[in-house]
Amino acid sequence: MVKDIGIDLGTANVLINVKGRGIVLNEPSVVAIDTKSGRVLSVGSEAYQMVGRTPSNIRAIRPLKDGVIADFDMTEQMLSYFIKKLNVKGFMSRPNILICCPTNTTDIERKAIRQAAEKSGGGSKVYLEEEPKVAAIGAGLDVFQPHGNMVIDIGGGTSDIAVLSLGDIVVSRSLRAAGDKLNSDIANYVRNKHNLIIGERTAEKVKMEIGSVLKGHRDETFSVRGRNVVDGLPKTITMTSDETEEAMHDTMQAMISAAKDLLSTTPPELASDIIDRGIVITGGGALLDGIDMLFSEHLKVPVMISETPLDDVALGTGKLLDHIEKSN
């Protein structure tokens, strides 16, 4: 029995959905290598623990940057590792693989993603789908009907905004500014305002623990530890939710302008559907405090958060694989 697999190849995480079994793998997109021998030491969660904590001969790298493959060999090795980990070779001869990519991916980048999937999946048939479409399906939107659905998918490397109708994307925008950019915004803010250098994992923790995109909406504090810029010694500061809003403000405004820009180019019939049906936010960014209110306030349209924002792309691959099978 051949089990088809859907892969959400994210900048921050890789999720794999095996047909009939659901999401069976969710691990960080990180590979740790020995720089002297070039040998892969660990992949996924184990490698993520090493980020910012490795000796000089070990590097923890993210093979994907801004939603595209930055290091082809590492991406291929990472995918092979995850597919082997599923221990699916026994019951899979040559599965179909459905893999997702951002909307602004170039033909060369698409070819790289396809090749990485083909090599790691053992010569299987590889389908490529655009991420916002798959996310919308995973979020439960019926994109195959003749009415407009709008989705904002904020991942790790890219934010994809799209209006869909009749099973396809009508208009879309993709920004290389998403979760990772918000982490670096927080790290830069802490450095500039508090003279403290922090790593990307600490910045992400701040975002997740007390982050908010609305001033005055969340009132929490977090002890941030890092290295003092002035004397190089360890130092601890207390950061507030309002400070995270200040840090992330410009990137959030860029996302709002892209969404406004998209709405201004949406055909009027579909735009009126969006006023009725609202916009769905999915991806890890959907978990940010106040994000639905922020978009609703600026776009003057109802905005909802998907029920399973982190899993929507992987869930959507499962539903799409059924659709592909029926149409073939």
Which residues are annotated as part of the binding site for ATP?
11-13, 156-158, 204-207, 284-287
> Cβ contacts of residue 165 below 8 Å, gap of 6+?
143, 145, 146, 147, 148, 149, 270, 273
Inter-axis angle of helices 200-210 and 241-264, to 10 degrees?
90
Instruction: Kindly write down the DSSP assignment for every residue of 262-274, as one continuous string.
Output: HHHTS-HHHHHHH
Classify 152 as helix, strand or coil.
strand
Q: Which helix (H) or strand (E) holds 151?
A: strand 149-154
Q: Which residues are annotated as a binding site?
A: 11-13, 156-158, 204-207, 284-287
The CA-CA-CA angle for residues 154, 259, 138, to 5°, reads 40
Token pair of 291, please?
A: 């994000």
DSSP label at residue 11: S
Looking at residue 297, its amino acid is: E
CB atoms within 10 A of CB 82: 22
Question: 96 and 324 in contact (C-beta within 8 Å)?
Answer: yes
Q: Which helix (H) or strand (E) holds 295?
A: helix 291-299
Question: Six-digit token pair at 320?
Answer: 């799409």
b (16+ CB within 10 A) / e for 27-39? bbbbbbbeeeeee
Give the C-alpha separation, 120 to 30, whole Å. 16
